[in-house]
């Protein structure tokens, strides 16, 4: 169903069962998967692809040109998976460099006024609360939660099952399973409630709490703390993930 006031370019590809509400605008290179719902006043433009069962609320803007002043032209894309919810006034911008991609996974929930800048990479089952913003090239891994009004600096990474508190200023990476808060943000503890809700068993949660103390409260250098974790829990998948994430950091760790 396409409302008669909607403007859909003849080149746009619309999947089966889509509903496009009043005053929506879809550009020439837009692809909508099956059963997407665009409520009203939604703009989707650029080389933008949405998977199936996405829901987009009024005044959201997906796929428009980057705000990055380094933009020199070229073909850039936005690729969005399935079953995402984009609430009112959400903006997702295309990449900056020719051939670049801004990528969003599936089952994410972006609350009103959230912003995803150029070249961000967002995983699956992520929640961004109202007015949270991701600068360019930010990576957000699966199941992360970003609180309202939080601002994430470009090139930062937020690990799997991590949480960023509301109104935080994040200028360095947040490790998986951890909770960061403050201005600038510091790692406060493990994301205990989030881990329990996600089904992590008590032994794993307790182990991650000990890992937190080694990393952030022991007084050890970061390298020595990582070496201790590797020696104490060599077979733990969670600890190995934690160590690998930290060793791969380019901006440093929010400690």
118 in catalytic set: yes
Instruction: Out of 136, 147, 159, 165, pick the active-site residue.
Output: 136
> In this predicted structure, what is the pLDDT of residue 118?
98
pLDDT in tens, 201-216: 999 999 999 999 999 9
Range 7-189 classified under CATH 3.40.50.1700 = no
Catalytic residue (one of 119, 123, 161, 165):
119
Q: What is the CATH number of domain 196-247?
A: 1.20.1180.10
Per-residue pLDDT tens over the stretch 117-160: 999 999 999 999 999 999 999 999 999 999 999 999 999 999 99
Mean pLDDT of 221-246: 97
- The predicted pLDDT at position 214 comes to 97
- What would the pLDDT profile of 98-107 be if each residue is shown by its tens digit? 999 999 999 9
The pLDDT of residue 182 is 98
Residue limits of CATH 2.160.10.10 in the chain: 7-189
Tell me, what's the pLDDT at 151? Answer: 98
| Percent above pLDDT 70 for the chain | 100
| Single pTM value for the model | 0.97
Mean pLDDT of 93-114: 98
* pLDDT the model gives residue 120: 98
Q: In three state form, how does the secondary structure of the chain look?
A: CECCCCEECCCCEECCCCEECCCCEECCCCEECCCCEECCCCEECCEEEECCCCEECCCCEEEECCCCCCCCCCCCEEEECCCCEECCCCEEECCCCCCCEEEECCCCEECCCCEECCCCEECCCCEECCCCEECCCCEECCCCEECCCCEECCCCEECCCCEECCCCEECCEECCCEEEEECCEEEEEECHHHHHHCCCCHHHHHHHHHHHHHHHCCCCCHHHHHHHHHHHCCCCHHHHHHHHHHHCCCCCECC
Which residues make up the CATH 1.20.1180.10 domain(s) of the chain?
Answer: 196-247
pLDDT in tens, 29-83: 999 999 999 999 999 999 999 999 999 999 999 999 999 999 999 999 999 999 9
Task: Note the pLDDT tens digit of each residue in 175-192.
Answer: 999 999 999 999 999 999
Catalytic residue chosen out of the listed positions 118, 137, 143, 161: 118
68 as an active site residue: the answer is no
Determine whether 148 is an active site residue: no
């Amino acid at each position: 169903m396409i409302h008669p006031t909607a403007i859909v370019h003849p080149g746009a590809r619309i999947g089966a069962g889509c509903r496009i509400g009043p005053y929506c605008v879809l550009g020439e290179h837009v692809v909508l998967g099956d059963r997407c719902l665009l409520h009203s006043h939604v703009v989707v433009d650029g080389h933008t692809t949405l998977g199936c069962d996405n829901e987009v609320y009024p005044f959201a803007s997906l796929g428009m040109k980057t705000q990055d002043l380094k933009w020199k032209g070229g073909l850039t894309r936005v690729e969005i998976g399935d079953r995402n919810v984009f609430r009112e006034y959400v903006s997702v911008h295309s990449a900056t460099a020719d051939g670049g991609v801004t990528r969003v996974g599936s089952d994410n929930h972006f609350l009103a006024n959230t912003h995803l800048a150029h070249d961000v990479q967002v995983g699956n089952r992520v929640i961004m609360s109202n007015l949270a913003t991701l600068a360019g090239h930010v990576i957000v891994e699966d199941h992360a939660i970003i609180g309202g009004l939080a601002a994430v600096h470009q090139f930062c990474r937020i690990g799997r099952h991590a949480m960023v508190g509301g109104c935080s200023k994040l200028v360095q990476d947040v490790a998986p399973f951890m909770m960061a808060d403050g201005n600038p943000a510091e790692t406060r503890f493990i994301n205990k409630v989030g881990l329990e809700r996600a089904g992590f068993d008590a032994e794993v949660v307790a182990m991650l709490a000990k890992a937190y103390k080694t990393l952030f409260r022991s007084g050890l250098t970061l390298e020595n703390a990582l070496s201790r974790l590797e020696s104490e829990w060599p077979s733990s998948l969670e600890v190995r993930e934690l160590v690998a994430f930290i060793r791969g950091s380019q901006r440093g760790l929010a400690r």
